[in-house]
Chain A
């Protein structure tokens, strides 16, 4: 069930009506039921994976809560093993076997492994990380185990953020799920704003940008160097508006239910360094990777060389988290390299605006790698741009379309940044101005938005 489908609208309205009419005791099971119905809409069989992950981490959490218990590490390994095992089986097994087969073929060995084609369950990477993070937190003693199975199961499967995050921390979400909630007009007004803004970014900006992107990335050969540049800009904004749009919708829906989810994006294209990008982009994942991977690897506590290696390892694995493809590994390595270089090089004394422009282009090149079908295409696209970077008459259309699609979102984000990265800016405008802006967003969504629910890009991760 896609957020941008009419089915979801009906689903949410029904769930919401029941939710508002239910007592707090009944709201918990209702949210869980709704979350499972939401997920089972794709394929009910995959509910078994969520149930498995939930059951294991709930049990492990209880076992780890007793700090005097022996073999606590083994219990933690059980959680990590099951979650990563599910992830490895459904997400990476086919990729791994294909690569092994290619290696074997190179050696002349023809007894290749049979590649099992498994359907990738939607949202798998998100909920396994969220569930596993809980067990690690209990193991570390950061939180006590949750003894309410309904609240815990809802924490793993909470439908607004189940399939593409934000990846929530147990100490933030579980208490909200357990405590009584009162949905106020403030919640609903904020939630409505987030929903409109999110749908505008997804349906009008991102889905339309996808068409410009496809003309280059899905073409047999790039039409020209400048077209590659435009497509790379377009994809950078497409994936941002798609994913941040999803996150805003998720936060808006949760607000309507009286629950606050974390902010996942904070104007990432105004970052002035690679490190700042990751403090602004997919914040819940970068913090997860920092807390559960980078710091356990030693973080920056074991010398400069080890720090660099830790950064690189974390980012490569972060890249691989996105999917089983060498382009993701390369994208992770590219960002890891960028972070390592930033640490190694002396701080440049350049104006912030120039640093922002340079960092933005660093990000754009990264997303070119991310979007390419394979590494060969990356070489082709970059080569085409370097060989023939000047605009042609035929590029005028794409430039006009790009400028039209980004004009409003670009200006709004620029003003937000100028006002101290104020993400609430629109809600602080005079109400008549808000009304005009919302009418504009709605018109764009209704008339120019993509039809019939385009998949959110991050659903596949």
Chain B
């Protein structure tokens, strides 16, 4: 029999391979040590979690809150103090905008970190040109930090196309060592004085090269994680806006009875050709239509009174004066929504 011959041959070969028991001990011990080390000693950077938990700690329903949610663009442009002054003394503005945000992240932060007894008067979502198109891997550590176990089916439905993604979700939720392994790897490589060797999931570039652009084996398409669902809309840059995540956010707002105000942040004029501008307008219209259909409000800030080309420091970022003008315009739009909401009540 092959097996017995192999066993005797392993003995005759002088092997003393570690048995299954000790090997399992090594496995459990190594993983346990890593997990314990990460849990006790590693504080992963997670700005959205910090802001969301910070808000959750203070929100007790004693104030009417306006929450500003967005990416680094909103964080840089919108001045919460000015916005608060311009909205009046009966509301308190909380800035939950963070760099590298996404609709999914905002949704999870609002869903899991806004206490039930908080009095949310308005959620403001000033978004940049690509913000609504930014998709995160559902197992990103920030997403996992914000999501509860109960959110995993939702994450899976939104972002996972295969069982590999689902199992990755489960593992990252269950293990902090696994969740933060990217950070740990970065730390390791930086300690050696080199760049990180991180890479995105998906098809190996050699595979693409060999294929000469053709798709190879089923299941290895470059899309990799597959964001293909929902109702797409053409957007500048040839990408498509997917509304799946947005739908969840709109549903959440309806369920919690929060007014939502989406505004597209202005861009430096004459930077793009007519075709691009037309595409952008179409994308804005599609987004507005979708938001309205879901019970939210969408107002365009493509034109902001007083905002000129010189206020832009690059294509999308603005000077302090530019920020002041945009915040003023945002306050104006927000006041209308607040007033409509109050009137509705």
Q: List residues of chain A with CB under 8 Å of any chain B CB.
A: 2, 5-7, 10, 41-43, 46, 94-95, 117, 119-122, 175-176, 179-190, 192-193, 207-208, 210-214, 217-218, 255, 258-260, 323, 325, 371, 373, 397-398, 400-401, 404, 424, 427-428, 430-431, 434-435, 438-439, 442-443, 446-448, 450-455, 457, 459-460
Q: Which residue from chain A places its CB closest to the CB of B193 in the assembled complex?
A: A400
Are A446 and B167 in contact, with the CB atoms below 8 A?
no
**Residues in chain A near residue B316, CB distance under 8 A:** none
In the complex, the chain B residue whose C-beta lies closest to that of A438 is B26
A188 to B11, CA, bound (A): 13
Q: Are A439 and B26 in contact (CB under 8 A)?
A: yes
Contact with A along B192-216 (1 / 0, CB 8 A): 1111011101011111011110111
Contact B3 A258 (CB under 8 A): yes
B345 within 8 A of A: no
**Which of A259, A400, A451 meets B181, CB within 8 Å?**
A451
Q: For A193, list chain B residues within 8 Å (CB).
A: 17-18
Interface string of B11-49 (1 = CB under 8 A from A): 101111111101101110111001000000000000000
Complex contact A211–B216 (CB within 8 A): no
Would A188 and B20 be within 8 Å (CB), given that A211-B197, A439-B30, A446-B181 are in contact?
yes
- Taken together as a complex, chains A and B put the C-alpha atoms of A184 and B23 apart, in Å, by 15
Give the CA-CA distance A312 to B14 in the complex, in Å.
41
Q: In the assembled complex, how far is the CB of residue A172 from the closest CB belonging to chain B, in whole angstroms?
A: 10
- Closest chain-A Cβ to B49's Cβ sits at a distance in Å of 21
Q: How far is the CA of A400 from the CA of B86 in the complex (A)?
A: 55
Contact A404 B6 (CB under 8 A): no
B188:A6 contact, CB within 8 angstroms: no
- List residues of chain B with CB within 8 A of the CB of A185: 7, 19-20
CB distance from A360 to the nearest CB of B (A): 21
Complex CA distance for A179 and B26, rounded to whole angstroms: 34
CA distance A94 to B177 in the complex (A): 46
Can you name 13 extra interface pairs (CB under 8 A) apart from A6-B168, A46-B218, A190-B15?
A: A95-B212, A117-B215, A179-B1, A186-B7, A189-B19, A192-B17, A211-B199, A218-B209, A424-B15, A431-B18, A452-B201, A453-B164, A460-B210
Of chain A, the residue at the smallest CB distance from B35 is A446
Residue on B nearest A328 in the bound complex, by CB: B210
A459 to chain B: which residues have CB within 8 Å?
Answer: 217, 220
Residues in B neighbouring A94, C-beta threshold 8 A = 214
By the criterion CB–CB under 8 Å, are B164 and A6 in contact?
A: yes
Chain B interface SS verdict (over half): helix
23 pairs of residues in contact across A and B, judged by CB atoms under 8 Å = A6-B171, A7-B162, A184-B4, A186-B10, A186-B11, A186-B15, A189-B10, A192-B17, A207-B199, A210-B206, A259-B2, A397-B194, A397-B195, A424-B15, A427-B10, A435-B25, A435-B26, A438-B30, A439-B26, A446-B30, A451-B181, A451-B201, A459-B217
Residue of B nearest to A177 (CB): B2
- Chain B residues with Cβ below 8 Å from A10 are 167
Contact of B23 among A41, A46, A438, A460 (CB under 8 A): A438
4 A-B pairs closest in CB distance: A6-B167, A43-B218, A189-B17, A186-B7
**In the complex, which of the residues B16, B188, B218 contacts A119, with contact meaning CB atoms closer than 8 Å?**
B218
Complex: A140 Cα to B85 Cα, angstroms: 92
Contacts of B274 in A (CB 8 A): none
Q: CB within 8 A of A442: which of B14, B17, B27?
A: B27
Cβ of B185 under 8 Å from chain A: yes
Residue B115 at the chain A interface, CB threshold 8 Å = no
Contact B214 A455 (CB under 8 A): no
A434-B18, A446-B31 known; A210 vs B26 contact (CB < 8 Å): no
Chain A residues with Cβ below 8 Å from B177 are: 446-447
Instruction: Verify B217–A184 contact, CB threshold 8 A.
Output: no
Query: Which of A212, A260, A424 sits near B13, CB closer than 8 Å?
Result: A424
Given contacts A10-B167, A325-B212, A427-B15, contact A120 B217 (CB under 8 A): yes
Tell me the nearest residue of chain B to A46, going by C-beta. B218
Minimum CB–CB distance for A357 against chain B, Å: 26
Is the beta-carbon distance between A455 and B181 smaller than 8 angstroms? no
Q: Given A182-B4, A187-B6, A435 and B182 touching (CB < 8 A)?
A: no
Alpha-carbon gap, A181 to B13, bound state (A): 21
Kindly report which residue of chain B lies nearest to residue A115, judged by CB atoms: B214
Q: Which residues of A contact B30 (CB under 8 A)?
A: 438-439, 442-443, 446
Complex contact A460–B10 (CB within 8 A): no
Cross-chain contact A431 with B16 (CB below 8 angstroms): yes
- In contact, B17 and A190 (Cβ under 8 angstroms): yes
Given known A210-B199, A400-B192, A446-B31, contact A119–B217 (CB-CB < 8 A):
yes
- In the assembled complex, the Cα of A31 lies from the Cα of B68 at a distance in Å of 57
Within the complex, which residue of A43, A401, A455 is in contact with B189, where a contact is CB–CB below 8 Å? A401
Closest partner residue, chain B, to A98 (CB atom): B212
Rounded to whole Å, the gap between the CB of A116 and the closest CB of chain B is: 11
Distance A255 CA – B2 CA, assembled complex (angstroms): 10
Q: Which of A6, A42, A179, A188 has the most CB of B within 10 A?
A: A6
- How distant is the Cα of A208 from the Cα of B204 in the complex, in angstroms? 11
Q: Which residues on A sit within 8 Å (CB–CB) of B185?
A: 447-448
**For residue A443, which residue of chain B has the nearest CB?**
B30
- Taking the closest CB of chain B, its distance from the CB of A121, in whole angstroms, is 7
The yes or no answer to B178 lying at the interface (CB within 8 A) is yes
B163 at the A interface (CB under 8 A): yes
- Asked if residues B164 and A7 are in contact (CB atoms below 8 Å), the reply is yes
Instruction: Provide the residues of chain A in CB contact with B181, threshold 8 Å.
Output: 446-448, 451
Instruction: Give A397 to B118 CA distance when docked, in angstroms.
Output: 50
Instruction: Quote the shortest CB–CB distance from B202 to chain A (angstroms).
Output: 8
Bound-complex Cα distance A255 to B215 (A): 34
Which residues of chain B are within 8 angstroms of A258 by Cβ–Cβ distance? 2-3, 6
Q: Are A176 and B2 in contact (CB under 8 A)?
A: yes
- Complex interface: chain A residues within 8 A of B234 (CB): none
- Give chain B residues whose Cβ lies under 8 Å from the Cβ of A260: 2, 6
Contacts of B136 in A (CB 8 A): none
Does B306 touch A at the CB level, under 8 Å?
Answer: no
Residues of B within 8 A of A189 (CB): 10, 15, 17-20, 23
